[in-house]
Amino acid sequence: MSVKSCKNQSLKLLYLFSNLHYPMKFLKKTFFLLLSIFIVIAIYNYPRLNIIAGYSSKNMSSSVFLAGRSLEFTDNHDNNFDPINLANDKINTKVKSASADVLGLLSRKSLYRNGLGSVLLLNKEDITIPFLSPKRSQADATTPYPFGNGNQKDTLFTEVDYAKLSKTVMSAFNKNNKTRAVVIIYKNQIIAEKYAYGFTKNSKILGWSMTKSIMATVFGVLQHQKKINVQEKAPIKAWQQDSRKEITIHNLLQMNSGLEWDENYNTMSDVSKMLFLTRDMTASQIQKPFTGKPNETWNYSSGTSNLLSGILRTQFASSQSYLDFWYSDFIDKIGMNSMVIETDLSGNYVGSSYAWATPRDWGKFGLLYLNNGTWKGEQLFDKSWVKYVTTPTATSNGEYGAHFWLNAGGYYPDLPKNLFSANGYQGQRVFIFPDNDLVVVRMGLTSMDYNVFLKNVIAAIQ
């Protein structure tokens, strides 16, 4: 039974008994009995309240202070689903914080930090912790999109059925899909673009687990620069005295380490503890034992992604260099200047979940892979890296590569087998079609039938 349903039933019973003319002594006993039941229910569900308050507070802080939306909009559209809607949100514009209270039983606070996004606080002292911010380059506002942020050159492709394409895009915006943005890029040109009410081409939207693909790409950039080799053993000191020392960075990138991990967002699982109760998110997976064998046991794990972010941090001489590199050698270099990757309290990028960017900038990410790592004549990662991330992980049924999702196993039956994508919670997607010179970005609050939608997109450009 959920917290909300228990609360409602208890209140109904209290209301019923308070309106009956029973002896006062009986009413008192009944009241205390029901109160005791409610307390037991609250104690049983108390750990879940940390998830509810933590999610609501963190999402509110990021939405308001990073993405520029209002408290009212966020409450009505982003934090309005069960059980997150049990939280009562407040913001403090002076210190740029957001707090969420659940039934008066538990409260959490999040703080926005310039350049780092928002972070959940674990104690009062966290609000005063000094922090470093990444150095960022200025956006190119004159060069036409996608190689800058200026207006793209007018281009009409004779092979594109624009009427059919427009109809297909419109189909993504029905009330059930809750789509917020669609951007379709063909031969480096936007050929269709639409936004839901309240959103524009400048709206930053959270990519959730699409962040995993961003984080993995940093490894590709480092490998191209010959600063790392993903086939080497993972440099984790705690593993050197047991059999886990055989795990490679490659195993981790393929989510195929064999380590224990529970990716369940509805309970106090490994992933919910990591995201809502942990100061250093890179350490959560390190503590886990084997439940399988490397290269034989695929298991989707946000803990693995954050562990990889921690491994990246060890490749740099300073925390500042770690923070800067993601932007200087990759993100800002391809003009994704709107992107902000949020960090945990220890200063690690949350590589599993927390990258925000405009849909157009998410599209640039897809184009980088479509163009095999080349951007304005510069090779950011090797062409072989694209083959690497799209090689199916053993035991994933052809659905997963190295932090990218694949169609090699025919998950989308009407789409090309070499389609690959960055995927995120609530249906965030960057689809890359190598054979069609096509990138499709879709952002929303729910998933949708991508097989039909993308089949119709391809049909409109053939």
pLDDT for 20 equals 46
CA distance 352 to 452: 28
Question: pLDDT tens digits, the chain, 462 residues: what are they?
Answer: 444 444 455 445 444 444 545 566 666 666 666 665 555 455 555 678 999 999 999 999 999 999 999 999 999 999 999 999 999 999 999 999 999 999 999 999 999 999 999 999 999 999 999 999 999 999 999 999 999 999 998 889 999 999 999 999 999 999 889 999 999 999 999 999 999 999 999 999 999 999 999 999 999 999 999 999 999 999 999 999 999 999 999 999 999 999 999 999 878 899 999 999 999 999 999 999 999 999 999 999 999 999 999 999 999 999 999 999 999 999 999 999 999 999 999 999 999 999 999 999 999 999 999 999 999 999 999 999 999 999 999 999 999 999 999 999 999 999 999 999 999 999 999 999 999 999 999 999 999 999 999 999 999 998
Show the CA angle centred on residue 281, arms to residues 67 and 301, nearest 5°: 95
Q: Are 263 and 271 in contact (CB under 8 A)?
A: yes
Tell me the domain boundaries of the chain.
3-121, 162-460
In this structure, what DSSP letter does residue 87 have? E
Q: What 3-state DSSP class applies to 454?
A: helix
What is the CB neighbour count within 10 angstroms for residue 155? 13
- CA dihedral 302→304→310→315, nearest 10 degrees, is -130
Quickly list DSSP for 196-253: -TT--TT--EE-TTHHHHHHHHHHHHHHHTTS--TTSBP--GGGTTSGGGG-BHHHHH
pLDDT for 268 equals 84
CA distance 407 to 413: 9
CA distance 324 to 327: 6
Q: Which residues of 8-19 are buried (b: 16+ CB within 10 A; e: fewer)?
A: eebeebeeeeee
In sign, the C-alpha dihedral spanning 361, 428, 96, 131 is negative
Q: Give the contacts of 419 (CB within 8 A, at least 6 positions apart).
A: 406, 407, 412, 431, 432, 433, 434, 454
- Backbone torsion region of residue 24, taken as left when φ is above 0, otherwise alpha when ψ lies between -120 and 50, otherwise beta: alpha
Out of 2.40.50.140, 1.10.10.60, 3.40.50.300, 3.40.710.10, the CATH code matching 162-460 is 3.40.710.10
Q: For tokens 């019973």, name the residue.
A: 13
CA distance 53 to 425: 19
pLDDT for 1 equals 44
Tell me the CA distances in angstroms from 428 to 149, 205, 227, one per residue in order: 22, 9, 31
Smallest Cα–Cα separation from 213: which of 342, 302, 321, 329?
A: 302
Q: Are 350 and 196 in contact (CB under 8 A)?
A: no
pLDDT for 17 equals 44
pLDDT for 42 equals 56
